[in-house]
Amino acid sequence: MKRRKFIQSASLSGLGVAVGSSLVSGCNDKISQRETVIGASQKENFPIVIATWDVKDAVNKAGEVLMQGKSSIDAVELGCNVEELNANNQTVGLGGLPDRDGNVTLDACMMNKDGNYGAVVCMQNIAEAISVARKVMEDTPHCILAGKGAEKFALSKGFKKQNLLTDASKKAWEQWKIKSKYQPVINIENHDTIGMLAIDKNGDISGGCTTSGLAYKMAGRVGDSPIVGSGLFIDNEVGGATATGLGEEVLKTVGSFLIVELMRQGKTPQQACEEAIKRIVSKPNSNYKHFQVGYVAMNKKGETGYYSIHKGFSASIFKNGKSKNYPSQQFIK
Ligand code: SD4
């Protein structure tokens, strides 16, 4: 568990993941392409990628795909795949830390420039959760597939079945089991849940979010990452936002949707991220000193923002052909 430099514990009281059916129903309907005017000077800055944490290889991959002239959805998928297949990253895909029963269960979603959304929740045995989420979006009439159904669908699409529990993650779980104290741990080290937003040469924005969720979570627990508006939201007229950290808190404030709506009202991505964090910490009896949440956002002009509750969060940005990791400002100074 050496990656977990900064571990926060959090109570799961009130762990209610309520997703109104109206929020997801019919969301794959094609929405009409609305004209968005992007000035030539802004377009010169494109493509741009922003992702949560220090995920250099992932944003470089996404940037490379965009530099080849491909779309933002391709870039986000291929970028996220890099970490999903990296067995040393214990928070995403292969090698992710398991739930309390020892099963690695993955959550992921994607949104494209047309406002379409696809997700898998609590899926086992398939590393490339983001790619399965994209297939749900593109090849089914649905938005979300869960558990066995998601796995069955992935297998039907030719994804490889594999054991995602690596020796290192199994060892960490066995260590945890000695005390099996149920305190979900929130890590804010570099290399965590990946939320990624990209804008391509046409100025079209897409996003994705992929995770193995909270380590040692209850079996069946689903976090914010695959839930539209919470872990990710894209509106190609305005911009996008994505989240990392204690999913329950992001879900309860519908954080990514909030950020996009604040940008629609004229806030910069930075101001919008700060406001979304403020909503969490200013709730009555907020336990925010004991958990981390971080957001990244990008608007239609390619302006970016990122902000978190605690120190230690960072954003990786690919721009002008180069990537760099930027430490985030945080609410607790
Ligand atoms: C979750 N938001 O499942 C994810 C986990 C995460 O930093 O981002 N951890 O709640």
Catalytic residue (choose from 193, 210, 242, 253): 193
Residue 193 among the catalytic residues: yes
What is 7-70 written as a DSSP string?
Answer: EEE---TT------HHHHTTTTSPPP-------HHHHTT--EEEEESS-HHHHHHHHHHHHTT-
Q: Is 0.75 topped by the overall pTM? A: yes
Report which protein residue has its CA nearest ligand 1's atom 3.
Answer: 213
Pocket lining for ligand 1, CB < 6 angstroms? 186-187, 192-193, 211, 213-214, 223-225, 244-247
Tens digit of each residue's pLDDT (9 = 90 or more) over 169-225:
999 999 989 988 766 555 544 457 899 999 999 999 999 999 999 989 999 999 999
Distance, CA of 170 to CA of 175 (rounded, Å): 9
Distance 34 CA to ligand 1 centre (A): 33
Domains in the chain with CATH codes: 40-330 (3.60.20.30)
Report the relative pairing of strands 48-52 and 117-123 from DSSP bridges.
unpaired
Please say if the pLDDT value at position 331 is more than 80. yes
Distance 295 CA to ligand 1 centre (A): 11
Please say if the pLDDT value at position 329 is more than 60. yes
Tens digit of each residue's pLDDT (9 = 90 or more) over 72-112:
999 999 999 999 999 888 899 999 999 999 999 999 999 99
Please say if the pLDDT value at position 21 is more than 70. no
Tens digit of each residue's pLDDT (9 = 90 or more) over 41-73:
577 789 999 999 999 999 999 999 999 999 999
State which ligand 1 atom lies nearest to the alpha carbon of 192. 7
Report which protein residue has its CA nearest ligand 1's atom 7.
Answer: 245
